[in-house]
Amino acid sequence: MRLSTVRVVTFIASFALVRTDDILTAISKMHDCSSCRDVLVQLKSLAVKGNEVFVKNFTGLCETLKLADPDVCVGAIIRSGPIIAHDLRQINPTSGKASAGLCDALFGFCSTNTSTPFQIPLPPPHHGPILEKNSKSQTRKQPFQVVHISDVHIDRGYTIGSEANCTKPLCCRASSDDSPISDPAQPNGNMRCDSPISLADSMLEAVNAINPKFVIFTGDVVDGHFNWLGNQSGVEDELKSFNSELLAKVRSPVFPAIGLDTTPVNSFARSSSMTANNSHFVFDIQSAGWRQWIGNDASNQVKHESGSYSSLVPGTPLRIMSVNTQYWYKQNFWLYDSDEFQPDPNGILAFLAQQLDAAEQADEKVWVIGHIPLGKEDLVEDQSNYYDQILQRYKNTIAGHFFGHSHKDEFQIAYSDYNDQTADNAVNFASIGPALTPTSGNPAFKVYDVDSDTFGLMNVKVIFANTSEPSFQSHPTWRELYNARDLYGPLVKLSPSSELTPAFWHKITQIFQTNDTVFQLFNALLSREGAVTPCDGDCKATRICDLRAFRSENNCDTPTPGVAIRRRDIAKMAAESEACEGFGLGSFFRMLRAKSMKAHPS
Ligand SMILES: *[C@@H]1O[C@H](CO)[C@@H](O)[C@H](O)[C@H]1NC(C)=O
Ligand SMILES: *[C@@H]1O[C@H](CO)[C@@H](O)[C@H](O)[C@H]1NC(C)=O
Ligand SMILES: *[C@@H]1O[C@H](CO)[C@@H](O)[C@H](O)[C@H]1NC(C)=O
Ligand SMILES: *[C@@H]1O[C@H](CO)[C@@H](O)[C@H](O)[C@H]1NC(C)=O
Ligand SMILES: *[C@@H]1O[C@H](CO)[C@@H](O)[C@H](O)[C@H]1NC(C)=O
Ligand SMILES: *[C@@H]1O[C@H](CO)[C@@H](O)[C@H](O)[C@H]1NC(C)=O
Ligand SMILES: CC(=O)N[C@H]1CO[C@H](CO)[C@@H](O)[C@@H]1O
């Protein structure tokens, strides 16, 4: 979509002068945290007039400025707008954490690298010195396999032959707007579209053929159209359908985690909100849908612990703790409706700490799984820091972390001292992604070879389907892209009997620093060589810094307001954004700012 700058300028000028209370002028002058708060003051004056006025004004702006197609504008703003209006009515927009968080989520201002000091109450270790995990054991049993799938984003409305090069954030759905068709959607997927059912089925068959001991699924079921078309019954149907497909196609038990699937998307209300708008329906559906895999106790926890649960893998001392990370996600606008400091929304951290303590006493090992990794810019620094305190205390019990959300094949390392990031100080690591949806690269999943005594990883294999191969559209072929042991092991002289320890991953990041060939390969593998973006210099330094940041206060992402606007195709912006929110209110407000700055150059 292209728009005439002259028209925009004229429009904004008239709008700003005649129709709204200087909101756009304030937006165009925004350049730091304080001027961002000025905008919130203006927005609040609109919010107090009611949700309808708030929604109508912004829907009108979105449409007139052609920030998205009209149905996308109306659909997205009508869903999330009322939450933002509610926030503004509840909080002081001129100071405090809530207004800073809202500025950060909407415009990319007021973000800091700091967390609010708070000590999570934790009991001291129960035993004497815990036996060192024997990560270099010479006598190992045959490892077992675990499959990790993530971010399937299945579009049940995917229509073969529909327009794949449309003007919306996602395509491949039948629409009367698109004729004649320039780029027809193929049977098994397209990079501008979320996954057709046939692609998901194909992957689940490949997963089943591996016959893993169990499968972990780190969330995100519904497709991006839900950002502007979703409703509760639609989300319910999607979640149930994917549970049924997993059950029908995969013999192994599945341990899933709650993703961002709710309505409006990302928006999980805290229990402190005292409002009817919450996502309890998601927990009810999954409590029932996951019971046959995770057991009765864990199924009840899903319902009563806001989607989190703790479940022992049958026949092993390995416990899966699945955490709903969404109350720690900056694009969950429900987080900004109170000025009261809430260190542990919905008691998720307390639940984890209590379960880890019980696991420690029972001599179990734990894998923590969840949707959003804790180290990126899009995770609230506070809860990331408090989770890290729990991790440090239970580092001998936690044998692994597994997340999704970024759609990338990557990892994050935790250190006992983040100011002294060395191999010796690396205490844990998280394995992240990749995604099934072809929007961010070739569809892929991971297979882990797991030591049956320590539950550490002996190998990480990435299995992918190449969308560029002509045979992909008739029959996707799933094969190994690489495995970490063969690719990286020789570079760090990994001994044949050693696990892929946190220290191993730290040493890989050191190789990235010294050997750019290896780093560039890693950069290509992030998207399974399917959507490679060049990365040198500062980008490389940031990537390495981020791989060493299990805590979000330690990453090197600097939210650059409006940066994505420089991309040629605005419609694609949301799909490509690091935060992976799709077309949401965050992207809307950032686009609005970029447009208003063009109209009011400073
Ligand atoms: C925008 O808000 C103003 C109040 O500030 C209201 O008078 C006007 O009707 C709203 N515009 C639309 C299109 O709803
Ligand atoms: C975070 O810290 C880095 C390095 O210390 C700094 O360059 C960056 O500007 C900081 N970001 C913010 C938002 O304060
Ligand atoms: C998609 O459409 C745009 C304009 O509508 C055109 O410029 C572009 O070449 C098309 N891309 C493909 C891959 O067909
Ligand atoms: C809810 O969404 C589904 C598609 O997911 C759609 O078929 C249905 O009409 C929608 N219901 C309402 C009330 O909008
Ligand atoms: C995917 O297939 C294309 C076309 O055959 C090929 O050029 C490319 O190298 C393949 N990618 C990978 C990662 O194998
Ligand atoms: C970088 O790593 C590659 C692949 O292992 C190797 O072939 C090359 O010699 C290394 N380059 C340097 C400068 O060490
Ligand atoms: C803040 C907010 O979104 N409130 C909504 C909660 O749900 C009711 C009924 O669905 C709506 O009327 C409110 O606007």
Secondary structure (DSSP) of 461-492 = EEEE--TTSGGGGT----EEEEEHHHHHGGGG
Question: How do residues 243-258 score in pLDDT, each as one tens digit?
Answer: 999 999 999 999 999 9
- How many Å apart are CA 250 and CA 350, to the nearest integer? 33
Strand residues in 484-540 grouped as ranges (E): none
DSSP per residue, 264-314: STT----GGG-SS---HHHHHHHHHHHHHHH-HHHHHHHHHTTT-EEEEPT
Question: How do residues 444-455 score in pLDDT, each as one tens digit?
Answer: 999 999 999 999
What percent of the chain is modeled with pLDDT above 70?
A: 89
Higher-pLDDT residue of 226 and 514 is 514
pLDDT at 227: 86
Q: List ligand 3's pocket residues with C-beta within 6 A.
A: 165, 182-183
Residue located via tokens 């390495």: 544
Residue 575 has pLDDT above 60, yes or no: no
**DSSP 8-state secondary structure symbol assigned to residue 195:** B
Residue 595 has pLDDT above 80, yes or no: no
pLDDT at 541: 96
Give the atom of ligand 7 at the shortest distance from the alpha carbon of 275: 6
Pairing of β 410-415 and β 254-256: unpaired
CA 460, 155, 591, 46 torsion: positive or negative? negative
**C-alpha angle 275-98-220 in degrees, rounded to nearest 5:** 65
Q: Which H or E run contains 201?
A: helix 197-210
Q: Of the residues 514, 517, 523, which should be mutated to test ligand 6's pocket, given the most ligand atoms within 8 Å of the CB? A: 517
CB of 63 closer than 8 Å to CB of 592: no
pLDDT at 9: 41
Q: List ligand 1's pocket residues with C-beta within 6 A.
A: 20-21, 46, 49, 53, 56-57, 60
Give the atom of ligand 6 at the shortest distance from the alpha carbon of 518: 2
Which structural domains are found in the chain, ordered by start?
6-111+559-599 (no CATH), 144-158+194-511 (3.60.21.10)
Residue 420 has pLDDT above 80, yes or no: yes
Residue 8 has pLDDT above 80, yes or no: no
Q: How many CA atoms lie within 13 A of 554 on its CB side?
A: 23
For 600, other C-beta atoms within 10 Å of its C-beta total 17
In terms of phi and psi (left: phi > 0; alpha: psi -120 to 50; beta: otherwise), the region of 471 is alpha
Residue 239 has pLDDT above 70, yes or no: yes
Q: How far is the CA of 186 from the centre of ligand 5 (A)?
A: 18
Residue 57: exposed, middle, or buried by beta-carbon count in 10 A (0-12, 13-18, 19+)?
buried
Question: How do residues 202-212 score in pLDDT, each as one tens digit?
Answer: 999 999 999 99
Residue 21 has pLDDT above 60, yes or no: no
pLDDT at 565: 31
Q: Of the residues 231, 232, 239, 265, which should be mutated to test ligand 4's pocket, given the most ligand atoms within 8 Å of the CB? A: 231
- How many Å apart are CA 483 and CA 126, to the nearest integer? 38
Nearest CA to ligand 3 atom 2: 165
**C-alpha angle 376-378-384 in degrees, rounded to nearest 5:** 65
CB of 151 closer than 8 Å to CB of 219: yes
Question: How do residues 475-506 score in pLDDT, each as one tens digit?
Answer: 999 999 999 999 999 999 999 999 999 999 99
Query: Could you tell me which residues are annotated as the binding site?
Result: 151, 153, 220, 371, 405, 407
- How many Å apart are CA 117 and CA 353, to the nearest integer? 18
Return the top range by mean pLDDT from 9-13, 105-109, 258-262: 258-262
Q: How far is CA 369 from CA 145, 319, 374, 404, 433, in A?
A: 16, 11, 11, 9, 11
Question: How do residues 22-60 score in pLDDT, each as one tens digit?
Answer: 777 888 888 999 999 999 999 999 999 999 999 999 898
pLDDT at 127: 65
- How many Å apart are CA 120 and CA 118, to the nearest integer? 6
Query: Could you tell me which residues are annotated as the binding site for Zn(2+)?
Result: 151, 153, 220, 371, 405, 407
Higher-pLDDT residue of 566 and 381 is 381
Starting from the CA of residue 164, give the closest ligand.
3
Give the atom of ligand 3 at the shortest distance from the alpha carbon of 167: 5
CB of 334 closer than 8 Å to CB of 269: yes
Contacts of 495 (CB under 8 A, 6+ apart): 136
Q: What would the two tokens of residue 580 be?
A: 């992976």
Average pLDDT of 548-570? 66
